[in-house]
């Protein structure tokens, strides 16, 4: 029986495959669908099996022997990729990470940067990546992954989050076994902020959000041709068009714990490693709103990042501020951010944005979610402590390769201080239609097709792949060359 196996190491993979209905479409088309998940309860497994899906544990790579220097090599490869392609993201994030480094750490980084400049030519990068692959194979035992894939015998292996290291041994094992691979790009920043594609040396097909991603891949990887790239859109935005994810205002306020008739702004928090003082920023925002004549009735609803440190927001519950900490998901969430996402979880996200007066965030993907729903978006380009490293970093985060085009589009507006933020909020509340055309252009460029049919297009592509594989899909890469 023709089958497809999905690697889903992150909760967003479950969203894109199960909650979106993609797995069900493939099953209804006659494919056997297997989900490889890092965690699942007995109840979740029974529920999936009742829907005729197979569930398998996503294995963890076991270190076979210690091989020193791989982290150093990875640093060179990542920096060389950014330098060679003139991508600003690595430089910006590096400055933020290095603020508290020791002299030894800074010295090591300087050596890596120097070697990376020498490694910019693509032949050198390719050689280093082959070396990295060899080191990985010497270090990790791939046999359990080969054995699991041989037992499953999928007609196609689908990657939902190639940036997660737990997928890499599966991709290497599949290439060695001649199993075709399909890569779904998870987020709009993956091609520029995560370094070189780990699948660049493997025989894969790619499912992309938009034409821009296709152009980037071909520019970054001359060996990848257009005929193995398919622009499908992403299931992430299909939910925004679904009636069952667009709750009424009354239902939404109830789920958010807000009083009947309340108005609110949605603050989409970032990860604590990038925005450590966000709780203080939110508390100050609430106080300033209270003192502002036309904004005093507004609540601030905080949607925490799924992988954030929830403990840092505990102080919000002990104040009389008009702040509500919204549940990130309705489903139970593990401390590492894992959750088995459902349609209801997406309904919470979509409806929280749909009824908000505006969405505030520090360089978050939620800017796109809000724009798809035509809600005003304001980028907070300053931190709680003026002149601090964090304050400077906030401004730079909006200059990264993936985020700068959003700013240039006008689809979101930047606030560089409290005065600008309150003025932009006032305009958003009184004239939400302002910026509508710019938001629409931003969505078209960054999100691709947001017609609610991305899941259908992806299922059709997968069916074509398993029924009529192309030569690029079926040629195995020798283990010594696979990246």
* Digitized pLDDT (tens) for each residue of the chain, 483 residues in all: 799 999 999 999 999 999 999 999 999 999 999 999 999 999 999 999 999 999 999 998 777 666 678 889 989 999 999 999 999 999 999 999 999 899 999 999 999 999 999 999 989 988 988 888 888 888 888 999 999 999 999 999 999 999 999 999 999 999 999 999 999 999 999 999 988 888 887 889 999 999 999 999 999 998 899 999 999 999 999 999 999 999 999 999 999 999 999 999 999 999 999 999 999 999 999 999 999 999 999 999 999 999 898 889 987 766 678 999 998 998 888 878 899 999 999 999 999 999 999 999 999 999 999 999 999 999 999 999 999 999 999 999 999 999 999 999 999 999 999 999 999 999 999 999 999 999 999 999 999 999 999 999 999 999 999 986 544 433 333 333 333
- DSSP SS3 for 108: helix
pLDDT reported for residue 274: 95
Q: Which residue has the tokens 């807000």?
A: 258
Q: HSE of 172 in the Cβ direction (CA atoms, 13 Å)?
A: 26
Count Cβ atoms below 10 Å from residue 226 Cβ, excluding itself.
Answer: 10
Q: What angle do CA 359, 276, 404 make, to 5 degrees?
A: 50
Domains in the chain, please, with CATH?
3-61+142-237+452-474 (3.40.50.2000), 70-132 (no CATH), 239-446 (3.40.50.2000)
DSSP 147-205: HHHHHH--SEEEES-TTSGGGHHHHHHHHHHT--EEEE--STTHHHHS-S-TTTTS-EE
Provide the pLDDT for residue 111: 95
Tokens (6 digits) for 126 = 């390719």
Dihedrals φ, ψ of 233, to 5°?
85, 180
Go through 180-206 and write b for each residue having 16 or more CB atoms within 10 A of its CB, e for each that does not: bbbbbbbbbbbbbbbbbbbbbbbbbbb
C-alpha span between 188 and 450 (Å, rounded): 14
């Amino acid at each position: 029986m023709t089958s497809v196996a999905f690697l889903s190491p992150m909760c967003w993979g479950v969203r894109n495959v199960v909650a979106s209905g993609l797995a069900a479409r493939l099953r209804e088309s006659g494919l056997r669908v297997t989900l490889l998940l890092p965690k699942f309860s007995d109840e979740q497994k029974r529920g999936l099996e009742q829907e005729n899906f197979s569930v398998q544990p996503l294995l963890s790579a076991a270190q076979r022997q210690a091989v020193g220097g791989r982290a150093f090599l990875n640093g060179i490869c990542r920096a060389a990729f950014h330098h060679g392609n003139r991508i600003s993201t690595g430089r910006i994030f590096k400055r933020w990470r290095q603020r508290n480094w020791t002299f030894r750490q800074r010295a090591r980084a300087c050596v890596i940067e120097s070697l990376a400049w020498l490694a910019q030519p693509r032949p050198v990068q390719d050689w280093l990546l082959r070396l990295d692959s060899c080191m990985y194979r010497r270090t990790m035992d791939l046999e359990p992954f080969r054995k699991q894939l041989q037992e499953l015998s999928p007609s196609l292996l689908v990657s939902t989050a190639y940036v997660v290291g737990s997928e890499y041994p599966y991709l290497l094992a599949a290439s060695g076994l001649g199993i075709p691979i399909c890569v779904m790009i998870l987020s709009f920043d993956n091609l520029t902020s995560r370094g070189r594609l780990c699948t660049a040396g493997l025989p894969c097909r790619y499912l992309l959000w938009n034409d821009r991603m296709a152009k980037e891949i071909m520019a970054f990887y001359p060996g990848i041709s257009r005929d193995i790239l398919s622009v499908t859109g992403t299931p992430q935005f299909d939910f925004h068009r679904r009636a069952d994810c667009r709750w009424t205002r009354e239902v939404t306020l109830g789920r958010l714990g807000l009083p009947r008739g309340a108005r609110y702004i949605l603050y989409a928090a970032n990860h604590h490693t990038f925005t450590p003082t966000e709780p203080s920023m939110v508390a100050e925002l609430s106080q300033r709103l209270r003192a502002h004549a036309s904004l005093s009735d507004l609540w601030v609803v905080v949607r925490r990042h799924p992988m954030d440190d929830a403990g840092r927001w505990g102080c919000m519950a002990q104040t009389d501020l008009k702040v509500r900490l919204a549940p990130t998901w309705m489903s139970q969430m593990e401390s590492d951010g894992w959750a088995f996402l459902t349609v209801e979880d997406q309904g919470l996200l979509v409806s929280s944005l749909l009824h908000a007066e505006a969405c505030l965030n520090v360089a978050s993907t939620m800017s796109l979610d809000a724009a798809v729903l035509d809600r005003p978006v304001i980028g907070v380009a300053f931190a709680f402590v003026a002149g601090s490293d964090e304050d400077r970093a906030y401004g730079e985060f909006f200059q990264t390769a993936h985020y700068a085009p959003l700013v240039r589009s006008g689809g979101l507006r930047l606030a560089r201080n409290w005065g600008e933020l309150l003025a932009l909020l006032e305009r958003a509340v009184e004239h939400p239609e302002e910026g509508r055309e710019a938001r629409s252009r931003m969505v078209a460029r960054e999100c691709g097709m947001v017609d609610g049919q991305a899941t259908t297009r992806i299922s059709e592509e997968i069916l074509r792949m398993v029924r009529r594989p192309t030569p690029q899909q079926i040629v195995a890469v020798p283990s010594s060359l696979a990246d």
